[in-house]
């Protein structure tokens, strides 16, 4: 492992706004953060937390949690939060299929999934963040009418997600193929992650949907 990467991973364990799933003290901080009387929004597989950070600036009366298993990525988001003096965003290093171990049933207001790995091969299907095993967890922790957002450049993943969410009983409110025509109507979609900028540079269209479970 490169030295700088390992250094960031080690430092991430010491940063106050990063909670590691193995740290009982940190999990206490997470519980306190969630217990505040504010809506809770998750960004899953957040990387450096672009959406969590951007939304935290826009909505100071909501609390945001970026979730990823890669500690060095969370280090970048945590440092940005410190620089911007954002006290309504923290980061959780954890596996996404363990979310229901950290969040109570019907406690989350929104979930954002931005540019997840599409895991294009059939044998990788269970790793897709819109596979039924993950959807079951989202449905468990989301409040009634809580919103799930998906943003992706991958046509196959988008179609797959529309199908799997529909089968799971989600009611789609917005379904956009090529969001560029709709950015004025949905300004939050103007936020661009590193991956979005990369995909746009290669000429790919960006798709978006949001839905809520019945």
- Split at pLDDT 50, 70, 90, the class of 191 is very high
Q: Report the range of poorest mean pLDDT among 21-25, 127-131, 148-152.
A: 21-25
**Domain of 60: which CATH number?**
3.40.50.150
The pLDDT of residue 3? 45
Answer whether 193's CB lies under 8 Å from 114's CB: yes
In terms of Cβ atoms closer than 10 Å to its own Cβ (0-12, 13-18, 19+), residue 71 is buried
105 is annotated as an active-site residue: no
The pLDDT of residue 13? 54
Q: What's the domain count of the chain?
A: 1
- Split at pLDDT 50, 70, 90, the class of 63 is very high
Is pLDDT at 11 greater than 60 in this prediction? no
The pLDDT of residue 18? 93
Q: Rounded to 10 degrees, what is the CA torsion of 190, 193, 199, 202?
A: 80
pTM above 0.75, yes or no: yes
Q: What's the whole-number average pLDDT of the chain?
A: 92
| Tens of pLDDT, residues 195-214 | 999 999 999 999 999 999 97
Strand partners, 6: none
Marked catalytic residue, from 48, 97, 105, 117: 117
Is pLDDT at 14 greater than 60 in this prediction? no
Q: Which domain holds residue 111?
A: 3-213
Is pLDDT at 73 greater than 90 in this prediction? no
Q: What is the C-alpha separation between 41 and 20, in angstroms, rounded?
A: 18
Answer whether 169's CB lies under 8 Å from 211's CB: no
Average pLDDT over residues 27-32: 91
């Amino acid at each position: 492992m490169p030295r700088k990467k390992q250094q960031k991973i080690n430092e991430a364990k010491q940063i106050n706004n990063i909670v590691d799933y193995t740290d009982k003290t940190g999990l206490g901080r997470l519980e306190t953060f969630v217990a505040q009387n504010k809506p809770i929004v998750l960004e899953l597989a957040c990387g450096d937390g672009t959406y969590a950070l951007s939304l935290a600036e826009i909505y100071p009366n909501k609390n945001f949690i970026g979730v990823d298993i890669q500690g060095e990525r969370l280090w970048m988001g945590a440092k940005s939060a410190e620089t911007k003096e954002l006290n309504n965003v923290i980061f959780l290093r954890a596996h996404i299929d363990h979310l229901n171990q950290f969040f109570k049933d019907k406690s989350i207001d929104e979930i954002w999934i931005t540019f997840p790995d599409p895991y294009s091969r059939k044998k990788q299907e269970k790793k897709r963040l819109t596979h039924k095993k993950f959807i079951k967890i989202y449905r468990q922790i989301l409040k009634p009418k809580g919103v799930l957002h998906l943003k992706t450049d991958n046509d196959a993943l988008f179609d797959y997600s529309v199908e799997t969410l529909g089968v799971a009983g989600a009611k789609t409110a917005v379904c956009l193929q090529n969001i560029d025509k709709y950015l004025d109507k949905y300004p939050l979609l103007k936020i661009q992650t590193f991956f979005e900028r990369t995909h746009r540079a290669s000429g790919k269209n960006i798709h978006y949907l949001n839905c809520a479970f019945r």
